[in-house]
């Protein structure tokens, strides 16, 4: 698409051209006032500097105006494309080998467009996943109602199935609301100073009780305490989701090991690092980031194992990451030596401006 020359181009062109003309005119005027007179000058000789300036200044002014206004026109067109949700537009390639401020601005725009493109793709994927996750229990509820109508004697079993699917729907909607609040920053009430190790111990105690049903154990190795300014509810949910996820996937008769240690910054304990290791099927190293995205649940065939599919919504670790990000921390996962998965969460004792998680 050819973009028309705007008013900026013509202003720069006019100013540049007039400057060149004025420079030559001033040169001619200077020659005149110092008394230099060529032999038998014609009356129009004084016009030669002006005409020379106008002739030489025309291409120079045009080139200067084009050089300055070209990136502005590309940026303007790119902004119009972005306003119409065409986030695949890029400006920097169109500027060639420029290394000036316009190139820096174009790079900033391209980075913004890339992030918007990724966000739009994630949003579309999230809508698709949400519709799929909601449709599945609704379909089973409809099937159960149809079976009840055909065979009233199966009403008791079908009612139990409907109740189970309704409970799953309620849990899914609750987790979606929690995720949404964390995404938009709505879950950010006043912080209170609490002992994070004590909070983690409560989570481990509850998880250990649930693990008994699978003949598993959950152990905790942590320092005596770690005081931090936190929002209790989302942080509790984060720890709970990480530990319970490990309990769900660890093999029977194994132990989920929860360890915590303090990391010193500036000579004092500024961070708490919590690692949760299981002995489950694990996750390939290239897929470890995916499990923190909403609804990213790796099925047994993706885990290269014959383990059964584990029920869940695929939102637990996504909520955990966003809750820790709310507190200036972060969480990651790596394959565990000897089999299984190791999830590592880091939390600062105090969130400050421009807080950066440790790596």
Helical (H) or strand (E) element with 18: helix 7-33
Neighbours of 158 (CB within 10 A): 19
Q: What is the CA radius of gyration of the chain?
A: 34
Angle at 356 between CA 352 and CA 344, to 5 degrees: 115
Are the C-beta atoms of 339 and 347 separated by less than 8 Å? Answer: no
Whole-angstrom distance, CA of residue 356 vs CA of residue 342:
22
Catalytic residue among 132, 180, 253, 327: 132
Q: Which two tokens stand for residue 93?
A: 């390639």
- Counting beta carbons within 10 angstroms of the beta carbon of residue 98, is it exposed (0 to 12), middle (13 to 18) or buried (19 or more)? middle
Q: What single-letter DSSP state applies at residue 43?
A: T
Per-residue DSSP letters for 276-312? EE--SS---GGGTTGGGSTT----TTTTTS-PPPPP-
Whole-angstrom distance, CA of residue 101 vs CA of residue 92:
12
CA distances from 228 to 191, 329, 332 (A): 9, 12, 21
Known catalytic residue at 132: yes
Whole-angstrom distance, CA of residue 346 vs CA of residue 332:
9
Instruction: Give me the helices (H) in 185-298, please.
Output: 196-211, 232-249
Number of alpha carbons in the 13 Å side-chain half-sphere of residue 51: 5
Which residues are annotated as catalytic? 132
């Amino acid at each position: 698409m050819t973009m028309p020359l705007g008013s900026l181009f013509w202003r720069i062109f006019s100013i540049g051209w007039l400057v060149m003309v004025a420079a030559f005119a001033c040169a001619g005027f200077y020659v005149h006032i110092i008394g230099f007179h060529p032999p038998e000058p014609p009356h129009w000789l004084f016009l030669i500097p002006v005409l020379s300036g106008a002739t030489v200044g025309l291409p120079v002014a045009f080139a200067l105006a084009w050089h300055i206004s070209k990136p502005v026109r590309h940026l303007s067109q790119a902004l119009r494309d972005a306003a119409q949700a065409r986030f695949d537009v890029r400006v920097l390639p169109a500027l060639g080998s420029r290394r000036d401020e316009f190139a820096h601005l174009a790079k900033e725009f391209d980075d913004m467009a890339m992030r918007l493109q990724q966000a739009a793709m994630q949003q579309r994927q999230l809508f698709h996943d949400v519709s799929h996750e909601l449709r599945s229990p609704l379909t089973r509820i409809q099937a159960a109602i149809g079976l009840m109508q055909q065979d009233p004697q199966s009403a008791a079993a079908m009612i139990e199935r409907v109740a189970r699917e309704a409970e799953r729907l309620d849990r899914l909607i609750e987790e979606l609301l929690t995720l949404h609040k964390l995404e938009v920053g709505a879950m950010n009430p006043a912080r209170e100073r609490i002992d994070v190790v004590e909070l983690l111990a409560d989570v481990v105690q509850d998880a250990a009780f649930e693990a008994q049903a699978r003949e598993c154990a959950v152990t905790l190795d942590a320092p005596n305490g770690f005081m931090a300014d936190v929002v209790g509810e989302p942080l509790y949910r984060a720890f709970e989701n990480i530990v319970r996820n490990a309990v769900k996937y660890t093999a029977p008769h194994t132990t989920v090991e929860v360890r915590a240690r303090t990391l010193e910054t500036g000579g004092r304990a500024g961070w708490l690092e919590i690692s949760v290791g299981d002995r489950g099927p694990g996750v390939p190293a290239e897929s470890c980031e995916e499990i923190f995205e909403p609804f990213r649940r790796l099925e047994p065939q993706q885990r290269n194992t014959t383990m059964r599919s584990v029920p869940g919504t695929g939102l637990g670790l996504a909520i955990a990451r966003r809750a820790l990000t709310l507190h200036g921390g972060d969480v990651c996962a790596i394959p565990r030596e000897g089999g299984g998965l190791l999830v590592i969460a880091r939390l600062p004792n105090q969130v400050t401006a421009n807080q950066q998680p440790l790596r």
